[in-house]
Chains A and B, each alone.
Chain A
Amino acid sequence: DSGVTQTPKHLITATGQRVTLRCSPRSGDLSVYWYQQSLDQGLQFLIQYYNGEERAKGNILERFSAQQFPDLHSELNLSSLELGDSALYFCASSGGPSGGYNEQFFGPGTRLTVL
C-alpha cells in the first residue's frame, strides 16, 4: 500500500458527461501528479500541483482541469467526455517527510469507461 488513495475505483459514464476523480496524497506529501494510462498512448503525465499551485503541465487536454486543495487532496475534472478518454487515471505524490521529492508513489488508479 503506497499510502495514496484514489476514488472512485471504477467510473462508467456516457459521452459528453463530466466526471471528477479524487486523490489523497501520502501524509505530508506536497506534490500531486496526475497520469493517464491508455492502451495506445501508454502512461502519460498530465499535470502536477505543489502545495496548492500548478507546477508543471504535460499532455493535458483543455477539457481536463485539476486543482489541489488546502488539505492537499487533489481533484481531476474531465468534461465533454469522449470515447477516447477511457483509460486508467493515476495519481502520484511526492515531497513529504517520509520520502524525497525524487520518489513518486502511485495510487491504485481510477478506471474510467466512457460509453
Chain B
Amino acid sequence: GEDVEQSLFLSVREGDSSVINCTYTDSSSTYLYWYKQEPGAGLQLLTYIFSNMDMKQDQRLTVLLNKKDKHLSLRIADTQTGDSAIYFCAESIEGGSQGNLIFGKGTKLSVKP
C-alpha cells in the first residue's frame, strides 16, 4: 500500500541549512511534492519533482530524489526564522487529473535565531 514517512521534528540555527527527509513506499509514484504549512494557514506548494528526475533546484530549495531507495529530501539553504513551519512530503500515484496526494505526517521545522 501507499505510505509516506517523515521524521516529526527538526531544529536548526538561523543561517544553517535544513534537510528534511521523506521515504515513500509506492514505486509507481509519478510526482513527489513538498508543501509548507504555517500555523493557522493552508498548505503552500513549495516545489515538486517528477519521478524521472534526480534533482531540482529552486532558489534556496533543493529537492533530491533517490528512486532506488524511495527517498526524497528537501534542503533549505540559509534557513531563516520565517521558514519555521510544518513541511509535508506527498506523493501522487497516478498524476494528471486523477492525482490525489498521499501525505506524510509532516516535519515541524524550528529555526532558532
Contacts and interface: CB of A to CB of B under 8 A. Distances in A.
Interface stretch (A12-20, A78-86, A95-103): A95-103
A103 B43 contact: no
B11 to A, nearest CB: 21
B97 A101 contact: yes
A102 B96 contact: yes
Interface in B82-113: 88, 90, 92, 95-106
Contact of A45 (B41, B45, B102, B104): B102
Contacts of A43: 43, 88, 90, 101, 103, 106
A56 interface: yes
A89 B41 CA distance: 12
Interface in A87-111: 90, 92, 94-95, 101-109
B101 A90 contact: no
B41 A108 contact: yes
A31 B45 CA distance: 16
Q: Size band of the B side of the interface?
A: 20 to 34
Given A43-B103, A45-B102, A102-B92, A50 B97 contact: yes
How many chain A residues sit at the interface, stated as a range, is 20 to 34
B101 A104 contact: yes
B97 to A, nearest CB: 5
B45 A95 contact: no
B4 to A, nearest CB: 9
B42 interface: yes
Nearest to B35: A106
Given A43-B88, A48-B100, 16 more contacts: A2-B42, A4-B42, A33-B101, A35-B103, A43-B106, A48-B98, A50-B97, A55-B97, A56-B100, A58-B100, A90-B43, A102-B96, A104-B45, A104-B99, A106-B45, A107-B42
